[in-house]
Amino acid sequence: MRFVVIGGDAAGMSAASRAKRNDRTLEVVVLEQTNDVSYSACGMPYNIADPARPVEDLVVRRAEVFRKEQNIDLRLGHRAQTLDRAERTVSGTTVGGEPFQVDYDKLLIATGARAIRLTAPGADLPGVMTLKSLEDARRIKDYLNRHPVRSVLIVGMGYIGLEMAEAFHERGVKVELVKRRPSTLPWAPEGMADLVKSELEAKGARLRFATRVSGITEDDGCLKVTFDSGDQTVVDMILVAVGIMPNSEIAADAGLELGPSRAIAVDRSLRTTDPDIFAAGDCADAFNVITGQRVWVPLALRANRAGWAVADNVTGKSVELPGIVGTAVFKVFDLQVARTGLSLDEAQGAGFAPVNTYVKTRSRAHAHPGNQTLHVALVADRGSGRLLGAQMVGKEGVAHRIDAVAVALHAGMTVAEFTQCDMAYAPPFSPVWDPLLTAGNQLLKALG
Amino acid sequence: MRFVVIGGDAAGMSAASRAKRNDRTLEVVVLEQTNDVSYSACGMPYNIADPARPVEDLVVRRAEVFRKEQNIDLRLGHRAQTLDRAERTVSGTTVGGEPFQVDYDKLLIATGARAIRLTAPGADLPGVMTLKSLEDARRIKDYLNRHPVRSVLIVGMGYIGLEMAEAFHERGVKVELVKRRPSTLPWAPEGMADLVKSELEAKGARLRFATRVSGITEDDGCLKVTFDSGDQTVVDMILVAVGIMPNSEIAADAGLELGPSRAIAVDRSLRTTDPDIFAAGDCADAFNVITGQRVWVPLALRANRAGWAVADNVTGKSVELPGIVGTAVFKVFDLQVARTGLSLDEAQGAGFAPVNTYVKTRSRAHAHPGNQTLHVALVADRGSGRLLGAQMVGKEGVAHRIDAVAVALHAGMTVAEFTQCDMAYAPPFSPVWDPLLTAGNQLLKALG
């Protein structure tokens, strides 16, 4: 029995490793188009921030280890291009231009996603970069090392854009950011978005909202950028961080069903519409536990978890994943920003009658030194009283606190049930009523 | 209608305030034996640590505010001594020695708890202190200000003892600690207890285990302490922090039922065995949500929450509290220590067939700077696969992470369900698999 995996990052290598651990007799072939496997993509901004750290620090396990210690047939530089479901083959070309073809019994498509590029004239000039793969990280780091980069324009303010703003700042590069939408956090109350804006500006970043890059030209070794608004700026480098799109073409071409954002549609066992073909990682969708709807939220934990579940299902177990609630956290300089579940707008869109509350509380007990303001918003459904989501911003106590709400969402708790939870209290860590409970108590009042 | 409250701290004042907010026509009388109401008792060690901070900083709301803004009949210096349930009266004596008597329609007993004292000879010498009330905090702070205290012996290593070790250390006082039991954290795996021990020793504290104070004598302005083991030490001050006991005598004398540790037994509506008499705060017990058994875990959040529930029930609502899971966190110098639910021993004692796991993981992502080791233990029931408890120690990421487990315990989740929760990940805050999930995955294997 041969299990073929297309793509050797989080989902693919998790699946390959676990499948081998589950069943040593299984033949496992991994086709990876680059020369990198198993690296911490989310760590790239922090690595780029530090000129002294080699990019290779981000590699969690080297190709040789998978091959020698796990007996995985890992083929680097193999770009899979065509999937023949009738013949059960995957074929493609190596970096050397050689064609190849592999038979499979079970197949996992873990092709990931790619960065969306700008379409404006000049978007392909040298110095205009994206950050999705380890190769991208090397390219950015090399560029920073080889050029006197004093200024950068970051296009987009998603978490990659914001984390890279900090990374460039750390390296002494002056940062400008531009976003097509009018707010830093479109899914959070305005007060929270304003906090992020103020934090970026306090660190010297120049922000532009509600405009797009309409053209880029080279200008005396620099990049001259023109915006829709007519504004112009001149920078040494541009990072395009306007989002990613799933690498689902090989699946679509083979007639497999796609879900939201053209991600590959999978059921709770990670099977595509072909029961012998699985998909996992950034190329695949998931069920939202709260709405039951298909969503595409490409994040690392889901990729790893889905990889494991595929391995189990390929090796004779029967595993179903309930899905995700959309929990995420990121750091913007001194701020922690987190969300889980639905925003007010998303809840409305999913057919709930949402009610929300937005409280600003202290991060520590009454009169305790070092207190910070913590912003907490909760969303609930008026009819059922069910908790639907949370958003949080603050200088401390955000990153792990959000998980308490995530667990409550998985459990389908009402706000009333959530506010009865026995949470930890000590003066250095929270007020007696944890900020989540204070927000929950407010929301209970709003629910009436 | 008159609502009388005995005791003006967390539970008592929460109940009095909320009752008035619920119903302005209600007559609310609070009898408080000291001159202090509504203060942050848990903040006392941190206040004592800083000679520049007045103890009065800990007062959350002053007596005058309750009286003038809320029209609460707050009587300070009133020590309630006798409860006559047939006549519905509370009587006692004021600090001035005047007898008083008050009629009630509904009564809340919120008399709190008191520090257990040593019985060894010399335990009443000046310089031997306890810390439970704000008056105790003033006494300790005055003593530190008026005497050249260079060394202290702390008897007990509960969270008060450990927090005070840090407070004394901050003030330049050399700390010795002694404990009758052999471990710093009897409810946690030995590795975690050892971490706490090492942290205390690294900060210069001298520790003694498995021995008791057998006598104290005054010796040239110092206190000479003899231990059961025969050891002796000489210190300038002694803090006795060997636990607290509920002030339940007034209830017991009136024939109300007592629960574990002689705390006043209450049902989920906070009613004692007399339906017109409620009890809340450190003098009352609670139901453990996991075992359904009565427990006495005197902590601040439960006191506040119970106070509110009493107020609601007194003013015509019908509120029941599900109970507690025993979540707690404290700081020991640079360590955060937290627990929720049952320890392995407690689970065994409650009739479960417990299985546990103990993992040491990183606090941040692969290769992220600033990584710390995080110790996580989880306990589950073999038969049902249900999650029963967690213990955690580490330098970061403990305090709020424990709440995710607390919520799971309230929801009655199995380990399998818990490990499917979509938790937050970003490199500065956790590995891709949150330490709780890593521990959960290990525990799943142990459950088979």
B188-240 pLDDT per residue, tens = 999 999 999 999 999 999 999 999 999 999 989 999 999 999 999 999 999 99
pLDDT number for residue A148? 93
Q: Are A428 and B46 a contacting pair at CB < 8 A?
A: yes
pLDDT number for residue B382? 97
pLDDT number for residue B145? 93
Q: What is the pLDDT of residues B155-188, one digit of tens each?
A: 999 999 999 999 999 999 999 999 999 999 999 9
The answer to whether residues A391 and A343 touch, using CB atoms and an 8 Å cutoff, is yes
B96 contact partners, CB below 8 Å, separation of at least 6: B77
Q: Chain B contact for A329, CB < 8 A? A: yes
- Which CATH code is given to the segment(s) A328-447? 3.30.390.30
Q: Chain A contact for B202, CB < 8 A? A: no
pLDDT number for residue A448? 86
| Mean pLDDT computed over every residue of chain B | 97
pLDDT mean over B394-403: 97
Residues of chain B neighbouring A432 (CB-CB closer than 8 A) = 10, 40, 42, 300-301, 304
Q: What is the pLDDT of residues A354-400, one digit of tens each?
A: 999 999 999 999 889 999 999 999 999 999 999 999 999 999 999 99
Residues of chain A with pLDDT under 70: none
Q: Is the overall model pTM greater than 0.90, yes or no?
A: yes
CA dist., res. A380 & res. A377, Å (int): 10
* Identity of the amino acid at B428: P
Burial class (CB in 10 A: 0-12, 13-18, 19+), A308: buried
A97: number of Cβ within 10 Å: 6
Residues of chain A neighbouring B60 (CB-CB closer than 8 A) = 366
pLDDT number for residue A367? 85
pLDDT mean over B357-374: 94
Residue of A57, A403, A434 lying closest to B404 (CB–CB): A403
Domain ranges of chain A: 2-34+77-114+244-314, 117-240, 328-447
pLDDT number for residue B417? 98
The answer to whether residues A336 and B28 touch, using CB atoms and an 8 Å cutoff, is no
Does residue B366 register a pLDDT over 90? no
Do B2-34+77-114+245-314 and B117-240 fold alike per CATH?
yes
Two tokens, residue A213: 């890059």
The answer to whether residues A100 and A106 touch, using CB atoms and an 8 Å cutoff, is no
Two tokens, residue B148: 């050249």
Does residue B448 register a pLDDT over 90? no
CA dist., res. A410 & res. A402, Å (int): 13
Residue of B46, B53, B433 lying closest to A304 (CB–CB): B433
pLDDT number for residue B359? 98
- Which CATH code is given to the segment(s) A117-240? 3.50.50.60
Interface of B with A in 59-78 (CB under 8 A): 60
Percentage of chain A exceeding pLDDT 70: 100
Does residue B367 register a pLDDT over 90? no
Q: Determine the straight-line distance between the first and last CA of chain B, rounded to whole angstroms.
A: 59
Q: Are B328 and A424 a contacting pair at CB < 8 A?
A: yes
* B42 catalytically annotated: yes
Residues of chain A neighbouring B436 (CB-CB closer than 8 A) = 403
pLDDT mean over B264-281: 98
Q: Would you say the C-alpha torsion B171, B175, B180, B182 has a positive or negative sign?
A: positive
Q: Are A369 and B50 a contacting pair at CB < 8 A?
A: yes
pLDDT number for residue A366? 85
- In 3D space, the residue among A331, A344, A297, A328 whose CA is nearest the CA of residue A402 turns out to be A328
Residue of B10, B46, B368 lying closest to A427 (CB–CB): B46
- In 3D space, the residue among A321, A289, A295 whose CA is nearest the CA of residue A306 turns out to be A321
User: Which candidate in A363, A421, A429, A433 is best for mutational testing of the B interface (most B CBs within 10 A)?
Assistant: A421
pLDDT number for residue A350? 97
CA dist., res. B104 & res. A106, Å (int): 76
- In 3D space, the residue among A234, A261, A235 whose CA is nearest the CA of residue A247 turns out to be A261
| Mean pLDDT computed over every residue of chain A | 97
Q: What is the pLDDT of residues A220-276, one digit of tens each?
A: 999 999 999 999 999 999 999 999 999 999 999 999 999 999 999 999 999 999 999
Residues of chain A neighbouring B304 (CB-CB closer than 8 A) = 432-433
Residue of B289, B300, B331 lying closest to A432 (CB–CB): B300
Q: Does domain B2-34+77-114+245-314 have CATH number 1.10.1200.10?
A: no
CA distances from A441 to A84, B29, B175, B301, B313 (A): 56, 26, 42, 13, 17
- Closest-CA residue of chain A to B335: A428
Instruction: Work out the pLDDT band at B138, boundaries 50, 70, 90.
Output: very high
ipTM for the complex shown: 0.97
Q: Chain B contact for A416, CB < 8 A? A: no
pLDDT number for residue A238? 98
Residue of A46, A47, A400 lying closest to B400 (CB–CB): A400
Percentage of chain B exceeding pLDDT 70: 100
- Which CATH code is given to the segment(s) A2-34+77-114+244-314? 3.50.50.60
Q: Chain A contact for B326, CB < 8 A? A: yes
Phi, psi (5° rounding) for residue B219?
A: -145, 95
Q: Chain B contact for A49, CB < 8 A? A: no
Q: Are B424 and A325 a contacting pair at CB < 8 A?
A: no
